[in-house]
Structure 1
């Protein structure tokens, strides 16, 4: 994850945006130490997979795209560079001779 410097040498953040009206600098930083996998056992339930530090901005939507990875639950087959832009993905696991997939990706943000 790339980070951008904050004004005045106050560190950096994953996303920095300047308000066009007041010129205030706002930021969202992905707290990389909080990133957790979402496993088959977590299926059909919400689980915290990442935390953000938000200053002046608040996330309201999540658009998954490319770069996700999965592993066959029974076979251990790696599936890399999964694109979830359409919130669904499927493939075929040669080891188990079964179709595998990720379906109906949903999300919610919880304020701490």
Structure 2
């Protein structure tokens, strides 16, 4: 078992607190990424979708997981389980420093997550307090105007990485 922390970063102009619509532990947010088989190294052809609300029972023993998938190349089965309570929104300060913010922890057995895909369903707020909801980051950027703060707001250069966590 290896734990992978999804870390996100972006350039936030006049914005802060970038996170999924329902917060970092949003039960309905779809995490899309490819998985790499731990045995043969085969990379999945399509993105895998994992949602906190969608669980399946483990084939052996008690408990549940969020994904059970078989490698199409070697046939090995692996699981991905989401671990809540470790994510934080990407703040303006973290963005300014060029650092990454932890979003979600994945307990992976037999697979390694790679290539996170940004989609819709994000929220962010301006430094003046205006909230922007259901932000779509699939194009890699977001631009709007904050009427209250009388300034342009923008998200650009979105990036993600998976870090191994002990």
Task: Give the TM-score band, short-chain normalised.
Answer: 0.7 to 0.9
Match of 1:30 in 2: 82
What is the CA RMSD across the aligned residues, in angstroms?
Answer: 1.7
In structure 1, what is the equivalent of residue 142 of structure 2?
A: 89
Structure 1 residues 42 and 100, CA, compared in 2 at 3 Å: closer, same or farther?
same
1:56 matched to 2:110? The reply is yes
Shift of 1:67: 0.7
Q: Given the alignment of the two structures, is residue 66 of structure 1 paired with residue 116 of structure 2, yes or no?
A: no
- Structure 2 gaps, min length 5: 1-51
Q: Which has the higher strand share?
A: 2
Gaps of 5+ in 1: none
What is the TM-score normalised by the length of structure 2? 0.60
Provide TM-score, normalisation by structure 1.
0.86
* Larger RCO (CA under 8 A, 6+ residues apart): 2
The structure carrying a bigger helix percent of its residues is 1
Structure 1, residues 42-101: CA drift from partner, whole Å, max 9, x if none?
A: 10212322211011110111101011100112x211111111111111111110111111
Equivalent residues, number: 111
Are 1:19 and 2:71 matched, yes or no? yes
